[in-house]
Structure 1
Amino acid sequence: MNGLSVRTKLTAWYGALFLVAGLVLVVINYLLVQSTLPDPARFASTAVAGDVAFGVAQRPDALSPAPAVRLVSGSLDEYRSSTLSTLLVGSAVALVATAALAVLFGWLMADRALRPLHDITSAARRLEAGKLDRRINLEGPPDELKELADTFDGMLDRLAESFDSQKRFVANASHELRTPLAVQRTLIEVAMADPDVPAELKKLGTHLLHTNERSERMIEGLLVLARSDRGLHARTPVRLDEITASVVRATAASAAAAGVTIETRLRPRTVAGDPVLLERLVTNLVVNAITYNASGGWVYVEVRGDPALEVRNSGPAVPPEAVPTLFEPFRRLGGAERTGDTRNAGLGLSIVRSVTQAHGGHAEAQPGRRGGLTVTVRLPPA
């Protein structure tokens, strides 16, 4: 924990204020006692004068008035200094002992005063997107801490209502997205069931069915991810190198059409996660690397330990200050090479980042030294 805790600061303030108040009392007490004790010289002169008046100084063994005044004054001055020193030392010892007790009681009182804040902090740390039923329900007088706890509970009520509304929206969107895909799949299957369908049309139908199936799986995966605020509910061991090899084979035709060469170095790498989402992650990276490239360019895809996946490509130079914005939804580089580009929806790298975070990893990008972009994805091992 950086710095001092609030409890320590409050205890320090309690102790400091008590010491200041104690010092003020000691000084006032010292001044009062000092002013109350008689002046040695004046008291000695008065006492000797009284003895002379009553004839005490006329005895043969009595001292003369002047030496007697000095003797009495010295004795009284020593007594006065001893008394004030004893008072000062005793007050200092009492002040230190009482200050130690004040610091101890201040520490205990600060803990008692801040306990509701600890309850609020603990409740906030236990919150999850799917578990917003926890409340503080602080009991006690209607003071500032009670008001803070009640305000926090009210905020949780509003958040829970907002998440419930979001879940209903996701469920409705899921239905609206899956229904057209199911209708398309049925129409394609019915058309392909006709024995008079030409071979070219049947090949096209097979490709459409495969695309339709992948779209359905992708929608299911994204909806699961949208419903989860803290990642995936279920994870399975996934061979990232095999998924990457499959994606490279699937995109080989589009790379050849764009005049881009794909090079790979795929080492065995197993991660825990969702195979559909991981396939979409790799697909987005490879497709982006092909799309935002130049004729005769290259794409290099590598799977290894750390980072788990790295995709580099040639192409136009990317300004370093523009790289962070590429991970935002519906954002493209503002240069001529991407302005007005309708080939993608601007969600490629934002989906990459979301999927990576859902798997407990981290995605980052940096400009290539000779143009293009280098994207690295770090994923925890299975």
Structure 2
Amino acid sequence: MKLRTRLTAWYAGVFLIAGVALIGLNYFLLAEWFQPAVGGVAVARQALPYPTSEMLTVTELPADTMVVTGEQVQSDVLSRLLWQSAIALVIAAVLAVWLGWVVAGRVLAPLHEITTTAHRLEATRLDQRIELEGPPDELKELADTFDGMLDRLASSFDSQKRFVANASHELRTPLAVQRTLIEVALAAPDATDDMRRLGAHLLDTNERSEKLIDGLLLLARSDRGLASRELVWLDEVIDDEVESCGSLAAEKEVTFDVSTRPYLVEGDPVLLAQLVGNLLRNALLYNEPGGTVSVRLDRELVVSNTGPAVPAEAVPGLFEPFRRLRDRTGTAGSGLGLSIVQSVARAHQGSAKARPNGGGGLVVQVNLPETGVRQPS
């Protein structure tokens, strides 16, 4: 039961209790005041030619006079009081329920505004505020406290994102210097075989570190949201990324199965290219020789592969940074691919989800809002 309904029920219940108590009190006071007289009361169709305080015998009254006892008069008056009061109480109770519903709605309106604001909030959109106007009561204090909490959260998120971006940027320079020094050492004429093997291992480690840093920079950039937007044909982005992944597909002995339609979105073309590229490279890296990568773009972008079986309970964790399946640790991935996909999708007001493929592998579904513009024929 909603709070508004409960408040209305409480209001109507208290009103009914007070009304019943008031009717009972009136009934008791009237019964105490209206004591039955000794003898009877004459009720005639016309005025009697006698003083009202004079005691008369029945034979002295007109023939059409009805005589009732005092107890009967008291009972009739009290019963009429009861049923008329009950009717009035029912009518007043209906009005009380309606008024209670209206008043409860007005009282709870600020709470609905707080709830609506909370639903609009995301980690990448902490700019929403309630800014409730009105007297300084408990609800105003609650809304101001909520706004203050959002200010602190937004500051904390911004500080964290800036730290990740700055740290990743600062780490790229020494890695580039290390790579250059290793390449110079390997190019020396007096380099021994052991030095060349060690240098090749160091270059591979350095390349992995650079890819990791680039992934962190991209993740931090997409988490900050989009500074500007432009129209991007997603189907063209898919075609370009499929072509760029051709050498990796040939190396892994994997084929592409692509089916797209013109699909226009509004966003950052670089981030969208990274989203598609990460999906395709993940599908290639975690595939089997002779497998396929299926790419479908209709109402949403769906990329699936034919790799090893993926447990359903492990799928949600794949969207967390640096999370990979146990049998994927030997691959060249950094564990940021699906995290970047999800972050870029959210930055474009979209979503990303995954599920195990029936015959092995993974199916990733990315929903990006499509604009109403269609490609000219």
Answer whether TM exceeds 0.5 for this pair. Answer: yes
CA contact (8 A) 2:354 2:363 kept: yes
Cα 1:146–1:28 shift into 2, 3 Å: same
Aligned residue pairs, count: 328
Q: Secondary structure at the match of 1:364?
A: strand
Q: Residue 280 of structure 1 is aligned with which of 271, 274, 277?
A: 274
Query: Does residue 152 in structure 1 map to residue 146 in structure 2?
Result: yes
Runs (4 or more) in structure 1 with deviation over 6 Å come to 125-128, 181-185, 213-220
1:140 corresponds to which residue? 136
Post-superposition offset of 1:83: 0.8
Correspondence list, 1:1-382, <5 A: 4=2, 6-34=3-31, 36-38=33-35, 43-44=38-39, 61=59, 72=67, 74-100=68-94, 102-103=96-97, 106-107=100-101, 109-110=103-104, 113-114=107-108, 116-117=110-111, 120-121=114-115, 129=125, 131=127, 135-136=131-132, 139-140=135-136, 144-145=138-139, 147-166=141-160, 168-170=162-164, 172-173=166-167, 175-176=169-170, 179=173, 222-228=219-225, 232-295=226-289, 297-307=290-300, 309-334=301-326, 337-338=327-328, 340-382=329-371
Alpha-carbon separation, structure 2, partners of 1:137 and 1:178: 49
CA contact (8 A) 1:365 1:376 kept: yes
Q: Secondary structure at the match of 1:263?
A: strand
Post-superposition offset of 1:145: 3.6
1:94 maps to a residue whose letter is: A
Post-superposition offset of 1:341: 2.6
Cα 1:135–1:125 shift into 2, 3 Å: farther
Q: Secondary structure at the match of 2:39?
A: helix
1:306 maps to a residue whose letter is: R
1:223-265: CA deviations, max 9, x gaps? 431222xxx2322222323322222222222222223233333
CA contact (8 A) 1:323 1:366 kept: yes
Cα 1:125–1:182 shift into 2, 3 Å: same
Post-superposition offset of 1:171: 5.5
**% identical equivalent positions:** 50
1:328 maps to a residue whose letter is: E
Post-superposition offset of 1:95: 2.4
Post-superposition offset of 1:22: 0.7
Cα 1:55–1:44 shift into 2, 3 Å: closer
Post-superposition offset of 1:14: 0.9
Alpha-carbon separation, structure 1, partners of 2:283 and 2:275: 13
2:142 maps to a residue whose letter is: L
CA contact (8 A) 1:313 1:374 kept: yes
Alpha-carbon separation, structure 1, partners of 2:88 and 2:76: 18
Alpha-carbon separation, structure 2, partners of 1:367 and 1:114: 44
1:202 corresponds to which residue? none
2:84 maps to a residue whose letter is: G
Cα 1:236–1:112 shift into 2, 3 Å: closer
**Runs of 5+ consecutive residues of structure 2 not aligned to the other structure:** 43-53, 185-209, 372-377
What is the RMSD computed on CA atoms of the aligned residues? 4.1
Alpha-carbon separation, structure 2, partners of 1:233 and 1:317: 39
Post-superposition offset of 1:19: 0.9
TM-score (norm 2): 0.70
Post-superposition offset of 1:170: 4.9
1:288-330: CA deviations, max 9, x gaps? 22222222x22233343222x2222223222223222222222
**Runs of 5+ consecutive residues of structure 1 not aligned to the other structure:** 48-53, 64-70, 192-212
CA contact (8 A) 2:231 2:266 kept: yes
Cα 1:117–1:346 shift into 2, 3 Å: same
CA contact (8 A) 1:218 1:276 kept: no
